[in-house]
Amino acid sequence: MKRFALFWWNFLVGDDWLVAVGIAVAFGLTALLAATSVPAWWLLPLAVAAVLWTSLRRAAR
Amino acid sequence: MIEALTIVLAMGVTRGWRSTLVGTTAALLALAAIVAALGPALTVIPIETLRLIVGALLLVFGLQWLRKAILRASGWRALRDEDAAFARAAAKARDAAHEERAGLDWYAFTISFKGVLLEGLEVAFIVITFGSAQGSIPLAAAGAGAAALIVVVAGTIARGPLSRVPENTLAFGVGVLLTTFGIFWGAEGAGVEWPGGDAALPGVLGFVLIMSVGFVTALQRRRPATA
């Protein structure tokens, strides 16, 4: 059971949990902004760039 | 797929082909069953929710691929060496005890099965997500099947691990594409309207590509000088 859970964790989360959490937060913020009258299309690409760069900097130390 | 081929080749060469191919075939059938079972199940989900799920999955997979490829391209992580991976798997296979179950060399069967199933699971999910988002899982499955066939034919011709394939370049390209579609469909699923509709997709692709190349360059500059 533990190995099964570990497999799915590695499969979906991968090497850095920060990426998965960052993406989940980014989707939430995008959905909130999209519900207003403000254009929201720019938020997810920028959030992806920020999350990826943060994760890369953590790995490249 | 290349990693799976390396495992299958190492098992076949060291432990014999019969059990290896039975394990490989069983894994491929399991993957086909997963696609056949999950594909139709996804079609009953409303399109906006489906795009959100598909986008999130593609983004998670895409960023995993892209992160690894950027770290390798910038020199922060070693490139995968298929020759070394083949040698490691072959050495382990030679040392493993022979245990026969159901008329099969159990080691060769289980390692081939696990290798193909685990490496193929990500491909199966990509087929399901792309196929369901575009309404054609059979077409997506055919594309994945064609890619698998190319890898098998190349491996057969090479009669060894595919060490000359520019694996990191392929991983970089796949990561860029998965991330692009993940952003595009995921944002739509979250309620975003893209300027210009589907015409915005090339713009997202360009953004992800420039961002990724920029990150490679930035990380290369951050590397400490080696003697």
Mean pLDDT of B210-218: 96
A56 interfacial to chain B (CB closer than 8 Å)? yes
Mean pLDDT is lowest, of A4-13, A20-29, B210-219, for: A4-13
Taking the Cβ of residue A30 and every Cβ of chain B, the question of whether any pair is shorter than 8 Å is answered with yes
The yes/no answer to whether this complex scores an ipTM above 0.85 is yes
pLDDT bracket for residue B51 (50, 70, 90):
confident
Contact B192 A53 (CB under 8 A): no
pTM, rounded to two decimals: 0.77
Question: Rounded to a whole number, what is the distance in Å from the CA of B75 to chain A's nearest CA?
Answer: 10
In the predicted model, what is the mean pLDDT of residues B149-164? Answer: 71
Question: Is the pLDDT score of B135 beyond 80?
Answer: no
Residue B100 pLDDT more than 50? yes
Q: How far is B198 from chain A (nearest CA, A)?
A: 13
Question: Can you give the pLDDT at residue B192?
Answer: 94
Cα–Cα distance between A34 and B53 in angstroms, integer?
17
A7-35: average pLDDT: 89
Query: Stretch B47-72: mean pLDDT, rounded?
Result: 89
Beta strands in B72-173 (DSSP E): 100-101, 104-105
Does residue A22 register a pLDDT over 90? yes
CB–CB contact A45 B208 (8 Å): yes
What pLDDT score was predicted for residue B184? 94
Give the Cα-Cα-Cα angle B68, B162, B117 (nearest 5 degrees): 65
Cα–Cα distance measured from residue B135 to residue B50, given in angstroms and rounded to the nearest whole number: 11
Helices B167-189 and B201-222: crossing angle, nearest 10°?
130
At residue B195, the pLDDT reads 94
Per-residue pLDDT, averaged over B93-105, amounts to: 81
For chain B, which residues make up each domain, given as ranges?
A: 2-222
Confidence of residue B227 (pLDDT cuts 50, 70, 90): very low
Mean pLDDT over each residue of chain B, to the nearest integer: 85
Contact A52 B63 (CB under 8 A): yes
Q: Do B190 and A31 touch (CB under 8 A)?
A: yes
